Every structure is written in structure tokens, then in C-alpha cells.
Structure 1
Amino acid sequence: MSLPRGADFRPPWPLTSGHVQTMLSSSGVRRLLLPRAAQAVQQGAQPTTVDGGDGVRLTGAFTAQQALARPRGLAVLFHGWEGSVDSTYVLQTGSRLLADGWDVFRLNFRDHGDSHHLNEALFHSCRIDEVMHALTDIARRWPARPLALAGFSLGGNFALRAALRAPAWDVPLAYALAVCPIIDPGEGLFALERQAPWFYQAYFMNKWRRSLKLKQAAFPQHRYFELAELKQNLRGLTEALVLRHTDFDSLQAYLDGYSVARDALKAMAIPATILTARDDPIIPVDAFERLELPPGVELDIADYGGHCGFIRGRDMTSFTDEYIAARFSAVADGGFPPAA
């Protein structure tokens, strides 16, 4: 079976720019230009709340496929930081998988989407246990098999950590795919501050500040931050919230807590794929090249694509849809990686 590779993605100019790819990936312009079929996963979607363990509630949306007599399996999708189940890339991927006969569950992380009011404690990137509880609940309530997982950016990082933990949690995960995942958070934070153009940090900080204000409005009796802290840069605000709201005694300890760098994935027992782009201006490619991976984990570094872009042309559709769908099909049809 021949599967698409990152090297197959050869976009026309100006989409050969990693910055153009990255800026378009989550833009309103892209959402307007996408074909209607790219939002089909929203039709008939069932909003739902899943069990995150210890009283934690996470939200999501389940859409049953109508293309086949029986579903090919259950696809679970994780969005990126400050994204949601309705992020453009999640809708587009979910709609493609739905058309291929997959039931689709899109999960919101804590404090993402419209879920700020559900849990008093703040979201942070080391909350992997509640995501594992959610996956356990999802697998129980929607038993179509195989169960396959795809995540983007921070969601890709969560997907890799979930796959690493799935056997111990008895989550029947068959495959995981991460698009431009955060590998080394410390290095990534430094790169975003020092190497990436200023507008990337401004974009993320504006979204994060808005999210924190929504959280404060949902729980006015709880002081989440000082107003002066909101004026800090990405590193400063992250450190302030880590020391105030987590058990980590330093920013570096927190960043190490969700790192999947170097040999962290060496014990991965579930087949997986990591797709990234050499021109990603947010996640440095060096971190991917230093990974020590087992034979069942595929690392695919494309020349182009930016950060979670991989946009093919004027219709704003993404190469990742075809890429993910092909690998999910390989899992459903006999396992991944395919036999030689």
C-alpha cells in the first residue's frame, strides 16, 4: 500500500512560505473559502460532556458517519492550544474522515471552546490524566473499532502522550498521528520568543488573555491572576500561572512535565506517525531530528507546510486531510505500518 508522504506536498508560490502557511492555517479567510464539505462534521453532531475523572468534565462533539452500513472505526481529534472542536483544521479533518466512513469525536481540552465554566481549576498542558479518563469514557460510550487518534500542535503533543500511556490505561487505541506536535516545550517557548516574528506571540497571547478573562468571569470568587501579570510576555505569564496554580516549583519543571523530546517516546508500543514541516516557524525542526523513536513510530518531515498548514491552493484545503485519512484507512484495513 502506497501512503502519501510529506515529500509529496509541493505547494505553489506563495504557499511555499512557512509564514504564509502558518498565518492562513487558522485564519478567518481560510474558513470563508473552504468548500462546504469541509464543515460537514458539524451537521448532526451531538454536543456531549465526558468524564475527565475526579469530577472533571470535558466537552466534545460526536458525529456518526452515514457513508457505510457500519463505521470503519472511531476517530478522535485533538485541537491545538486555544483552539477548539470547531477550529478549521479540526472540522476539515473530521469531515474528511466522516466521508470515509469513520465516526468522529472532537474533544475540547479544559477551558477550550465554551467550557471555561465547567471546572474551577485552570487548564495547563500537564493535565494528561484527565484526557486519559476522557478517552476511556469515549471508548466505552462509542465502541466502534479501531480507535484512532489525531492531534494538532499541542493536541499532537497530547496525542503522543496519550498513545504512550494507552496500554497502561486499557484504552484500546490502535494508532495515533500528531501534526506539528510540540516536542520540547522549553525549546519551543524560547523559539517563539526569540526566533519567530513578533506577531506569532502577539496572536497567541491575545487569545490566551481572552481565555483567562473568560475563566475569571466564570468563577468571580476565585483570583486566577493579577492584572499586572496579564501584561507580561509568554514566558512571564506562563511562569506566574505555573507557580500560582500548579504543584511545579519552577517553569522548567512544568515544561519538562509535558516534553516528549529525545528518548521520551522510545517505549511507545502503539503505532504512530509524527508529521511536521521543516519550515514550521513555531516548532523548531531540530527537536524532531533528535528524537529517539521505536520502529513502530514514523517520523515524516516535509519541506513545506508551516505550522499545521499544509494548504494546497486557493480552496484552502489541507494536504493533512488526505495524509491522515490514508493512514487511518491503513489501520482499518489491516494495520499500520502496512506490510512491505
Structure 2
Amino acid sequence: MSLPKGSDFLPPWPLRSGHIQTMLSSSGVRRRLLPKRAHQVQVDAREVLVDVGQGDRLSGRYTAQATGRESRGLAILFHGWEGSVDSTYVLQTGSRLLEDGWDVFRLNFRDHGDSHGLNEALFHSCRIDEVVTALGEIARMFPAKTIGVAGFSLGGNFALRAAMLAPSQGVPLDYVLAVCPIVDPAEGLFSLEKEAPWIYHAYFMQKWRRSLRLKQEAFPQQTYFELNELKQNMRELTASLVLRHTDFGSLEAYLDGYSIAGDRLMNMHVPATILTSSDDPVIPIGAFHALRLPPNIELDIASYGGHCGFIRDFSMTSFTDDYIAARFNAIAR
């Protein structure tokens, strides 16, 4: 049985614009137009708090499949930066996998979704250890014969890094799929500032500032930032928070801490797929061409799709649903 490829994705004009694909991917318009079945993963979802050690917890939602057949396995989904378990792309992918007989766990990263009050320490992108610990706890709570992880954007970056660490920490993981993962954070930050249209920078900064304010409200005894720092651009605010809340010592060291560029994935042994698009306006495509990958990692570059869009037509459904489901189902077989 042949699996879908990125080259199979050919949306109608004007959906061939990477900017339109990107802007529609998480828009309220798309959420309203999606069919009810795209929200099925929310029905009977169980809220779960995952212990990640030292008194910290991550939140998530677990939904058991109800096809009447034996479960294919457990699908764990990672959202992107400032997304959540209820992001449109997470709901749609989760609902598609649920239809195919997968149990689905949607994980919130620290300080995402409604979880700002769970832990006192601030989120940052190098908190990979707690995500690997969470995977192990989820696998323990919901044992399955097959476990796959799918992540989007920053969630794709986390998924690939977690897959590198999982075997050495005894975390059972059979497959990982990353959609438009952040590869080189330093290059991506420069691109977002200098090359991408201003609307993307403004969009992410608005969501990030709101998230930081929620964190401050949850822990008023802490000083997470100075008010004037919220007026800074993305690079400046990131640097301020890195110096205040981490041990990295510089913005450059922090960004390098979660890079997967060059040959950093060469020691990964879990089977994986990376799906991205040449017209992604957020993450430069050159970083993907420069990757050195082992044979167990498939790199699939589509011509269209934008950043985590891949919107098939004006029904607002996504090509990634079938793409992810087909590869998960192949691993389960």
C-alpha cells in the first residue's frame, strides 16, 4: 500500500498561496467552517494532569476510541508555540485518528492552553526533559501496543527531540511525525523578524504577551517580566526572559539549545517523518535542505501548504489528516 506524499498535495488556486494557507490554518473562520466530525476528539475527552517531577505537572486530554474494534494504539499530539490541545489542527488530526481507531492524548506544553497556573516556573523551548517524562507517564497511564507522536511547528521540534531521548529513558515510542518543525531557531527568529511579512511577528507577539500576562496573574508574587519589556520585539523579549529565567547566559546559547539543524538528528533511532512545504513563510526551507538524516527519518517537502496549513479546499479540511493517519496506521500494522 502506497502512502500519501507531499507531492500529492495540490490545492486549488488561490489556496496555493503559502500566506493564505498559513493564515487560514488556525483562523476562527476555518474553525467555524470545519465539519462537526473535526471536533469529535473533544467529545467525552478526559482531563488528565501528568506528573513530570519536582511537583510540576502538564495538562492534557485523553479520548478513547469507540469504533467497537481493538484500539490501534495511542496517538499523542503536540501543538505549536502558543497553541493548545484545542488548536484547530490538533482537534482535526485527533478526530481523524480517533475515527481510525486510535486512542488520542493531546498534551499541553507548560503555560499553554489553560495551564498557566499549574507550575510556577516559566515555559521555555529547552524544557525537553519534562516532555520526555510526560511521554513516559502517558505511556504508563494508557498502555498501548503502538505509540506514535505527531507534532506541529514547535511541537514538531519537541517531538523529534523527544524521540532522540526516549529510548535511553525507557519511554516506548514507535513513530514520530513532525509537521513544519522549527529546525534552526536562530535562523527562524531572524526570518520572522526580517523576511516574513510583519503580520506574523505581530500575531505571535500578541499571543505571547497575553500568555505572559496570564502567567503573571496566576503567580502575582513572582516577577516574570518588567512592564516595559512587554514592549520589546520578539528577539529582545526572548533575550530578556532567557537571561532572567534560564542558565543559558545568552540568547544564542538558548536558541542553539533546541536546534535540530545540521546533523543533530543523526543519532535518532525511532522511525520518523518530517513533512514541510517549500512555501512556508515562517520557517526557511533552506534549513530542511541542509539537514543530514539517518535512513529511518523520511523528509517530505511539498510545494504547497504554508506553515502547518495544507488546507485541501474550501471545506477547510487538511491534507495532513489523511497523511498522518496513513503513516500511523502503517506503523500499527
Structure 1: gaps (5+ residues) = 334-340
Does residue 89 (structure 1) correspond to residue 89 (structure 2)? The answer is yes
For the residues of structure 2 that align with 1:119 and 1:332, how far apart are their CA atoms? 35
| Residue type of the alignment partner of 1:219 | F
- Offset at 1:56? 1.1
Q: Write the deviation string for residues 138-169 of structure 1: whole angstroms up to 9, x where unpaired.
A: 00000012000000000000000011111011
Q: 1:149 matched to which residue of 2?
A: 149
Q: 1:124 matched to which residue of 2?
A: 124
SS in 1 for 2:174: strand
Q: 1:278 matched to which residue of 2?
A: 278
Q: 1:338 matched to which residue of 2?
A: none
Q: 1:298 matched to which residue of 2?
A: 298
For the residues of structure 1 that align with 2:218 and 2:35, how far apart are their CA atoms? 36
Does residue 179 (structure 1) correspond to residue 199 (structure 2)? The answer is no
For the residues of structure 1 that align with 2:13 and 2:160, how far apart are their CA atoms? 32
TM-score by length of 1: 0.97
| Residue type of the alignment partner of 2:40 | A
| Residue type of the alignment partner of 2:205 | M
| Residue type of the alignment partner of 1:292 | R
| Residue type of the alignment partner of 2:165 | R
Q: 1:309 matched to which residue of 2?
A: 309
TM-score by length of 2: 1.00
Does residue 215 (structure 1) correspond to residue 215 (structure 2)? The answer is yes
For residues 240-251 of structure 1, the aligned pairs below 5 Å read 240-251=240-251
- Offset at 1:112? 0.3
Q: 1:257 matched to which residue of 2?
A: 257
SS in 1 for 2:76: strand
For the residues of structure 1 that align with 2:95 and 2:330, how far apart are their CA atoms? 18
Q: 2:288 matched to which residue of 1?
A: 288
For residues 18-29 of structure 1, the aligned pairs below 5 Å read 18-29=18-29
Q: 2:203 matched to which residue of 1?
A: 203
Q: 2:80 matched to which residue of 1?
A: 80
| Residue type of the alignment partner of 1:200 | Y
For the residues of structure 1 that align with 2:269 and 2:224, how far apart are their CA atoms? 39
| Residue type of the alignment partner of 1:154 | L
- Offset at 1:69? 2.4
For the residues of structure 1 that align with 2:163 and 2:328, how far apart are their CA atoms? 15
- Offset at 1:52? 1.3
For the residues of structure 2 that align with 1:123 and 1:144, how far apart are their CA atoms? 29
For the residues of structure 2 that align with 1:305 and 1:146, how far apart are their CA atoms? 29
For the residues of structure 2 that align with 1:311 and 1:69, how far apart are their CA atoms? 30
Q: Write the deviation string for residues 83-137 of structure 1: whole angstroms up to 9, x where unpaired.
A: 0000000000000000000000000000001000010010000000000111010
SS in 1 for 2:282: coil
For the residues of structure 2 that align with 1:19 and 1:13, how far apart are their CA atoms? 13
For the residues of structure 2 that align with 1:52 and 1:318, how far apart are their CA atoms? 33
SS in 2 for 1:52: strand
Q: Write the deviation string for residues 182-206 of structure 1: whole angstroms up to 9, x where unpaired.
A: 0000000000000000000000000
Q: 1:169 matched to which residue of 2?
A: 169
| Residue type of the alignment partner of 1:108 | N
- Offset at 1:68? 3.6
For the residues of structure 2 that align with 1:311 and 1:75, how far apart are their CA atoms? 22
For the residues of structure 2 that align with 1:101 and 1:23, how far apart are their CA atoms? 31
Q: 2:113 matched to which residue of 1?
A: 113
For the residues of structure 1 that align with 2:255 and 2:99, how far apart are their CA atoms? 38
| Residue type of the alignment partner of 1:131 | V
For the residues of structure 2 that align with 1:68 and 1:253, how far apart are their CA atoms? 50
For the residues of structure 2 that align with 1:323 and 1:54, how far apart are their CA atoms? 38
Q: 1:336 matched to which residue of 2?
A: none
Structure 2: gaps (5+ residues) = none
| Residue type of the alignment partner of 2:233 | N
For the residues of structure 2 that align with 1:85 and 1:52, how far apart are their CA atoms? 18
For the residues of structure 2 that align with 1:225 and 1:285, how far apart are their CA atoms? 33
For residues 311-330 of structure 1, the aligned pairs below 5 Å read 311-330=311-330
SS in 2 for 1:173: coil
Q: Write the deviation string for residues 250-300 of structure 1: whole angstroms up to 9, x where unpaired.
A: 000000000000000001101000000000000000000000000000000
**Number of residue equivalences:** 333
| RMSD of aligned residue pairs (Cα, Å) | 0.5
